Amino acid sequence: MIKETTMQKQSAGNGRAFRVATLAALAATITACGDATPPAPPPLEISVVEAIQRDADITLDLVGQTRGSVDIPIRARVQGFLESIEFEEGRPVEKGQLLYTIDPAPFRSMVVEAEGRVAEARTLLANAKADLERIRPLAEMNAVSQQDLDGAQARYEASIGTLQAARAQQEQAEIELSYTRILSPIDGAIGISAAKVGEFVGAEPNPVVLNYVSRNDPIRVRFAINERDYLRLARKIAELREQPGGDAPPEQGGNLQLILADGTLHEHTGHVVAYDAAINPTTGTFTMEADFDNPGGIVLAGQFARVRAVADRREDAVMIPVRAVAELQGTFRVFVVGDDGTVKLRVVEPGPQIGNLQIIDSGLEAGEKVAIEGLLRLRNDAKVNPQVVSVESLESDADAKPEQGS
């Protein structure tokens, strides 16, 4: 009995020892696992571009509206009922071509009446002349008084004045009769008529301006430019004039480009032909007009367009995409990525913007790589996996994107 109890105690002791050993081994295993360092995450993969260096034109885009280089209002110069319309709306017309006729009957009556007054005045003049010729010899013989002679002379001179007035009235009546036939003053295109046949015209509130004839080749664009941009453009014009052999006309600073409402570039360049004498004090802008050749009349009057003018030229300018530049409280920064993938935050001085490219005046050299995405996640001295993208591909992608609203 005692021997059996002793064996049971030895068996229980051995079991406890085994469990302790097992727990110790498990604890060692857990401790070993806890001391292991987890693998580092891979570097952030970002797109970068190399800063390019090339000559760049600094341009101004100025919003304007097209109009005919000549816009002539067609007015009813006399009052009356519109009798006929002699043209096709929207079609070309020639100088001197009949456009409208106004009922001429009242004006013909006025001419006939004026002719009658002229005939009457001629008769009075003839009688006054005959009386004077009869009285003058008698006065020389003292057969009539000097008073009779003076009266005859006065009646003769008054008759001359009456005839001249009657002739002027006749001429005015004939002019007004001619105004019933409204002719085109120039070669051009005519618009939609503001009056219909049978309508009374020539006096408000009825139509006075019946139409417009416009010359659309060249097409003219009126645009406004602010004071600062005007000074930049004026300096460029002066610079071109001073260049040896420069043949830029005095009114233009190089060729202007016309960007139409659909974003396309008009194939013909233009130049400034007119401008205001002073800056508008209310708007602070200066109004200018430029002409562009427009064969075929593709560009119509009244369209909105943008005039692009070269205000400056930068040679060997360092440029990067606009989205690579971050601005914080007036400080402009870029993330420069080294060959080893290390990011360095750098302050730069930006220049003018050209399309989707930003000129960098200082702080960056051509060929250096800058990040163009993930800027909010980047930190100084961070490691990244740079993927180089060409600036040219970014430019072509931007050009391929349709404009908003199209």
Ramachandran sector of residue 90 (left: φ over 0; alpha: ψ -120 to 50; beta: rest): left
Q: How far apart, in whole angstroms, are the C-alpha atoms of residue 76 and residue 1?
A: 144
- CA distances (Å), 256 to each of 83, 98, 251, 403, in order? 46, 38, 12, 22
Residue 63's Cα: distance from chain center in Å? Answer: 3
| Pairing between β-strand 44-50 and β-strand 384-388 as defined by DSSP bridges | parallel
**What pLDDT score does 283 carry?**
86
Element (H, E) at 146: helix 146-178
Nearest-10 crossing angle of helices 105-140, 146-178: 160
The percent of residues above 90 in pLDDT, for the chain, comes to: 40
CATH value of 46-59+315-400 in 3.20.20.100, 1.10.3720.10, 2.60.120.920, 2.40.420.20: 2.40.420.20
CB atoms within 10 A of CB 346: 15
Residues of the chain within CATH 1.10.287.470 domain(s) are: 104-179
Question: pTM of this prediction?
Answer: 0.61
Q: Across residues 368-385, what is the average pLDDT?
A: 88
Q: Across residues 3-31, what is the average pLDDT?
A: 52
Residues of the chain within CATH 2.40.420.20 domain(s) are: 46-59+315-400
> Looking at the predicted structure, is the pLDDT value of residue 400 above 90?
no
**What pLDDT score does 203 carry?**
85
Q: Across residues 18-25, what is the average pLDDT?
A: 54
pLDDT for 28-63, tens place per residue? 555 555 455 566 677 888 889 999 998 888 888 899
Residues of the chain within CATH 2.40.30.170 domain(s) are: 214-313
Contacts of 10 (CB under 8 A, 6+ apart): none
Query: Are residues 96 and 349 in contact, defined by beta-carbon separation less than 8 angstroms?
Result: no
| 27/261: higher pLDDT | 261
pLDDT for 169-205, tens place per residue? 999 999 999 999 999 999 988 989 999 999 999 888 8
| 356/85: higher pLDDT | 85
Give the CATH architecture of domain 104-179.
Orthogonal Bundle (1.10)
Domain 214-313 indexed as CATH 1.10.1130.10 = no
Q: What is the DSSP string of 309-332?
A: EEEEEEEEEEEEEGGG-EEETTEE
SS3 102: strand
Give strand pairing partners of 209. 75
Segment among 226-240, 253-267, 343-357 with least mean pLDDT: 226-240
pLDDT for 206-243, tens place per residue? 888 999 998 888 899 999 988 888 888 777 767 766 66
pLDDT for 377-397, tens place per residue? 888 888 988 888 887 777 655
